[in-house]
Copies of this chain bind each other. A is one copy, B any other.
Amino acid sequence: MKRFKAIIQYDGTNFVGYQIQPNGRTVQEEIEKALLRMHKGEVVKIVGSGRTDTGVHAKGQVIHFDSPLAIPPIKYRKALQTFTPYDISIVSVEEVASDFHARFGTTGKEYRYFVKRSEFFDPFARHFTLHFPYELDISLMRKAANVLTGEHDFTSFCAAGSSREDKVRTIYSIDVIEEEDTLIFAFQGNGFLYNMVRILVGTLLDVGQGRLTVAQVKANLEARDRTQGAKTAPPQGLYLWEVYYQ
């Protein structure tokens, strides 16, 4: 039995998220179905670095699984791709040490959020960006991003129903990148709470529009109270961009 690490991409539009659900199509289910076919009916479970929600995309999701098949990794990638639907891409498969763990072994993640600022709605970008044709003060957003960077209790910036007790996370960096009419928020950190990136994006957009001051963002962070927070940005602009391991 060998352990494999795979990097996968997916267009989240037609999934109810990464993790298997009783109802709805999921990324995990599709990959496990592909592995079931490769293994001629033997069940192979996969472990992902974490979940992504309905409509959220991945450019660099990482999974691991154990397989008895004696296939070179390069052929493994092609074989797995063959059995996988077109909205998932298998970027790489490599053999790893038997103690590699896609979830517990992470040292950090990067998420990116794409905002399309064109005046007119772009039908080709509708599943992949948030359309936001309003004025934004980028320098104020960068100031608020600085306030949010670092080690903090992010209770005010995670979904109210979240059950994790420890809400302290470290954000290494928040970059606000302008590329033509697209604004990209890049978040690097040691971990992110449920809906945290989308709530941070909602907050930064509120700051950019003058609906929230940088001082209010600081006060919200210190209040540790989700009811103080901004609205959650919609899922289609969000990508799990990269997962880091030692």
Contacts of A89 in B (CB 8 A): 120-123
**Distance of A126 Cα from B89 Cα, bound (Å):** 11
Question: Nearest-CB distance from A140 to chain B (Å)?
Answer: 29
Contacts of A122 in B (CB 8 A): 9, 89
Q: Is the interface of A mostly helix, strand, loop or mixed?
A: mixed
Q: Say which one of A80-88, A147-155, A168-176 lies at the interface with B.
A: A80-88
Asked if A57 is at the interface (CB within 8 A of a chain B CB), the reply is: yes
Q: How big is chain A's contact interface, by range?
A: 10 to 19
Asked if A91 is at the interface (CB within 8 A of a chain B CB), the reply is: yes
A10-51 residues at the B interface, CB under 8 angstroms: 10-11
Contact of A121 among B57, B86, B123, B128 (CB under 8 A): B86
1/0 per residue, CB under 8 A from B, across A112-133: the answer is 0000000011111010100000
Contact of A123 among B88, B120, B123, B126 (CB under 8 A): B88
A88-123 residues at the B interface, CB under 8 angstroms: 88-91, 120-123
Known: A81-B121, A121-B81. A87 touches B126 (CB 8 A): yes
Seen from chain A, the residues whose Cβ lies within 8 Å of a Cβ on chain B are 9-11, 57, 81, 86-91, 120-124, 126, 128
